[in-house]
């Protein structure tokens, strides 16, 4: 999924000027996150705008989506992608550092956050800014979400499993509760490499889930087809 464009059933993504391209992690998160009851949604670090567009497709015309992004090129590209979609009136792209962003409370906050660890070398400065945890670490992300989330709101994230476990521990120390955890394996029988997390500020029991994306013969699994078929043009292997 690293080309210059990606076409879904109801919208199109151009990504030649975005450091971080459309990836399976965002598509899985955008398909999985529960949206029922959310009237105001915030996408932190929107990049191409993929998550904002997916949630616009999944929600009613009454739902407002704000998408915050710091990188100027990504902001321009996200604006173009949103303006070319059916939901341009409902999605607002905002160039701002989420650590100082102020807005009325949101019912749902979603993010595919930075997760490369310190010391990794990345091909260009924009990609490094987009994926290096030094600029928006887990503590800053959780504090920002706490400030902007309604009391009964939810925070949804996708992370590699190891970083996800670190975030769960940190979130618990900061007064968050893990509502759902879904381990994602790219192929049947492989060790899960991604985790989807749903956190809230309200005490709750954790629902444990598992999702497989592809069978051993490389066909999409029935559970992933059920989740993402409304977005993909075709879901054959």
Tell me the pLDDT tens digit for each residue of 191-215: 999 999 999 999 999 999 999 999 9
Please write the tens of the pLDDT for every residue from 102-126: 999 999 999 998 764 433 444 555 5
> What's the pLDDT score for residue 121?
42
pTM of the prediction?
A: 0.90
d(CA 72, CA 190): 38
pLDDT at residue 118 in the model: 39
Question: In residues, how long is the chain?
Answer: 237
Q: Which pLDDT score is estimated for 116? A: 46
Render 41-78 in DSSP notation, one character per residue: EEEES-TTSHHHHHHHHHS-TT-EEEEEE--HHHHHHH
Which residue ranges in the chain fall short of pLDDT 50?
Answer: 1-2, 116-122, 127-134, 237
Enumerate the H helices of the chain as residue ranges: 24-32, 50-58, 72-83, 125-131, 138-148, 161-173, 222-228
- CATH number, domain 5-228: 3.40.50.150
């Amino acid at each position: 999924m690293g080309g210059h464009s990606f076409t879904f059933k109801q919208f199109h993504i151009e990504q030649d000027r975005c450091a971080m391209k459309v990836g399976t992690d965002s598509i899985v998160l955008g398909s999985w996150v529960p949206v029922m009851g959310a009237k105001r949604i915030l996408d932190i670090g929107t990049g191409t705008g993929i998550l904002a567009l997916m949630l616009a497709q999944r929600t009613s015309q009454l739902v407002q989506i704000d998408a915050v992004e710091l990188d100027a090129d990504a902001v321009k590209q996200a604006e173009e992608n949103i303006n070319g979609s059916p939901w341009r009136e409902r999605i607002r792209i905002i160039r701002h550092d989420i650590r100082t962003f102020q807005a009325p409370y949101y019912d749902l906050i979603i993010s595919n956050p930075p997760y490369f660890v310190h010391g990794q070398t990345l091909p260009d400065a924009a990609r490094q800014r987009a994926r290096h945890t030094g600029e928006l670490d887990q503590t800053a992300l959780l504090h920002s979400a706490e400030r902007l989330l309604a009391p009964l709101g939810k925070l949804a994230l996708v992370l590699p499993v190891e970083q996800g476990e670190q975030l769960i521990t940190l979130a618990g120390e900061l007064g968050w509760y893990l509502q759902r955890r879904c381990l994602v394996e790219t192929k049947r029988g492989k060790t899960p490499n991604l985790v989807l997390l749903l956190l809230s500020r309200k005490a709750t029991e954790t629902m444990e889930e598992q999702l497989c994306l592809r069978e051993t013969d490389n066909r999409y699994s029935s559970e992933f087809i059920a989740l993402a078929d409304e977005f993909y043009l075709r879901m054959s292997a």
